[in-house]
Structure 1
Amino acid sequence: MANEKNEKNEKPADSRDMIGAHDAMRREFAALPALVAGVPAGDTRGTAVVARHVLMMVDFLHAHHTSEDDHVWPRLRERCPKDVGLLVATMDQQHALIDGELTALAAECRRWSDSAGATERDAVAAVAERLLPPLFEHLALEEERILPLIDRHLTESEWKATVEASLGKVPFSQRLLMLGMALHGADEEQAQLLRAAVPAPVWHVGRPLGTRLYRTHRERLASASRESGL
């Protein structure tokens, strides 16, 4: 099974586009504590804007992780068991820890959205801050240890199916915004890697439109929070 992709004469996976998605996650999640804390207590409009963003990011990360659970770990366990046994077990443990924090973050965010109160706002900011160390540790380990194994043991079509599965879990209305988010701050090499990961028509329409959508999204967040840093 380890040589399956060679037997089928398929191109190997190129998972470097994952780094662009990870960079977007690092940037957006790192900004959450200050973004949330900067919304004035009682500001229902600002609370609604930032709370929707927090919940969107929770859903985005959850979709990313469950797609790995479904499409990546089983193939690596099958094709290179000696290389990934303990490593994938660590990935599973980290996913479980992060998922617990995401569940807590979403629950606190919904309470804040209902009340717009300072206590509820500060609880959201605290969970968002607590999430950062395990999330950053996980993303770094995945880039260092998992991506080389993906490129060695998965095919291009299998990797694209994983990316499509992740996008398929994101509401259609948010997909272009997610593309704009991933492109924000990306160099041209990363942009071209993202281009290779999506169908050509989606790219040609999505790059300019997604960029504009994300710019507007950031402006809306900045207007809602005094400490957004955006």
Structure 2
Amino acid sequence: MKHSEPNLLGITINHRSMRGDARRFADVTRAMAEGRTAGTPQRAREIQWYLSNLCTGIHHHHQAEDDVLWPVLRETAGAEVDLGELTDDHRQLDPLLDRIRAESAALAAAPADRAAAGRLADSLATLRDLLDEHIEDEERTLFPVIMRYVSGEQWQRVEKAVRKGSKMGFELPRIERYATPQELETLYREAGPVLRLLLASVRGGFQRRERVIFG
């Protein structure tokens, strides 16, 4: 019998940030492809930087699920959970993430190339749709199983694996962007003053990059 419940706030915000970023970068690159947003060298470089980090973060997230969360669920929930379809989704993601990395590099090399922007926009739209479907399925089917079968201690082990290797200078400002004010206050209470200090140290540079990308 488990002694404490998992806190799913972190993974919920992480999921929201991945979906939100895929959506807004699909939009901005489509606007570049259609000539509604200028394809400047600085904008294209910052898009490449952001998408490189985003793709790395998405890969790390689903790899941690495969390597750490899935074994925990098989151990605790057994026949109550079917991970086949979600695992197949993970396999589809990696080639798409590689394509987005390559296409964002091509755009950085030729920022005024509207066709290059269009190819990247198409790939990001595919990522957006795949993440929307995958995450909705995962939260609907797995979150109740996690809450029923996984202990708080086991869940902390999963979260530690997700945090390990994450680029905090990239991930923390995105948490701030996508969390509600109430969720942020909860995170501040749980993490203590160190979270506010870390965010203060990375917020400015991150916001400057976003202004270049989105205007």
- Fold conserved between structures, TM > 0.5: yes
User: Alpha-carbon deviations, 1:56-109, whole Å to 9, x = none?
Assistant: 11111111111111110011112211111x3x1111011112222212211222
Q: Could you tell me which residue of structure 2 aligns to residue 143 of structure 1?
A: 139
- The aligned runs of 1:25-174 (5 Å cut-off) are 25-37=18-30, 38=32, 40-41=38-39, 43-84=40-81, 86=82, 88-116=83-111, 117-171=113-167
Q: Could you tell me which residue of structure 2 aligns to residue 14 of structure 1?
A: 7
Q: 1:22 & 1:13 partners in 2: Cα distance? A: 16
RMSD, aligned α-carbons:
2.3
Q: 1:141 & 1:103 partners in 2: Cα distance? A: 24
Q: Could you tell me which residue of structure 2 aligns to residue 226 of structure 1?
A: none
- Cα contact 1:34–1:125 (8 A) shared by 2: yes
How many residue pairs get aligned? The number is 209
Query: Residue 82 and residue 17 in structure 1: after superposition, are their counterparts in 2 closer, same or farther (change >3 A)?
Result: same
- Cα contact 1:180–1:210 (8 A) shared by 2: yes
Q: Could you tell me which residue of structure 2 aligns to residue 190 of structure 1?
A: 183
Q: 2:202 & 2:147 partners in 1: Cα distance? A: 28
- Cα contact 2:72–2:154 (8 A) shared by 1: no
Q: 1:214 & 1:203 partners in 2: Cα distance? A: 16
The alpha carbon displacement at 1:121 in A equals: 1.9
- The percentage of aligned residue pairs carrying the same residue is 18
The alpha carbon displacement at 1:145 in A equals: 1.4
Runs of 5+ unmatched residues, structure 2? none
Q: 1:195 & 1:83 partners in 2: Cα distance? A: 35
- DSSP-derived class of the 2:142 partner: helix
- Cα contact 1:50–1:221 (8 A) shared by 2: yes
Query: Residue 139 and residue 193 in structure 1: after superposition, are their counterparts in 2 closer, same or farther (change >3 A)?
Result: farther
Runs of 5+ unmatched residues, structure 1? 224-230
The correspondence for 1:218, drawn from 196, 210, 213, is 210
The alpha carbon displacement at 1:126 in A equals: 1.0
1:178 and 2:174 are equivalent in the alignment:
no
The alpha carbon displacement at 1:201 in A equals: 5.0
One-letter amino acid of the structure 1 residue matched with residue 140 of structure 2:
E
Q: Could you tell me which residue of structure 2 aligns to residue 200 of structure 1?
A: 192
TM-score (norm 2): 0.85
- Cα contact 2:99–2:123 (8 A) shared by 1: yes
- DSSP-derived class of the 1:59 partner: helix
- Cα contact 1:75–1:154 (8 A) shared by 2: yes
Query: Residue 213 and residue 168 in structure 1: after superposition, are their counterparts in 2 closer, same or farther (change >3 A)?
Result: farther
Query: Residue 129 and residue 114 in structure 1: after superposition, are their counterparts in 2 closer, same or farther (change >3 A)?
Result: same
Q: 1:25 & 1:62 partners in 2: Cα distance? A: 11
Q: 1:148 & 1:193 partners in 2: Cα distance? A: 21
Q: 2:186 & 2:169 partners in 1: Cα distance? A: 16
The alpha carbon displacement at 1:196 in A equals: 6.5
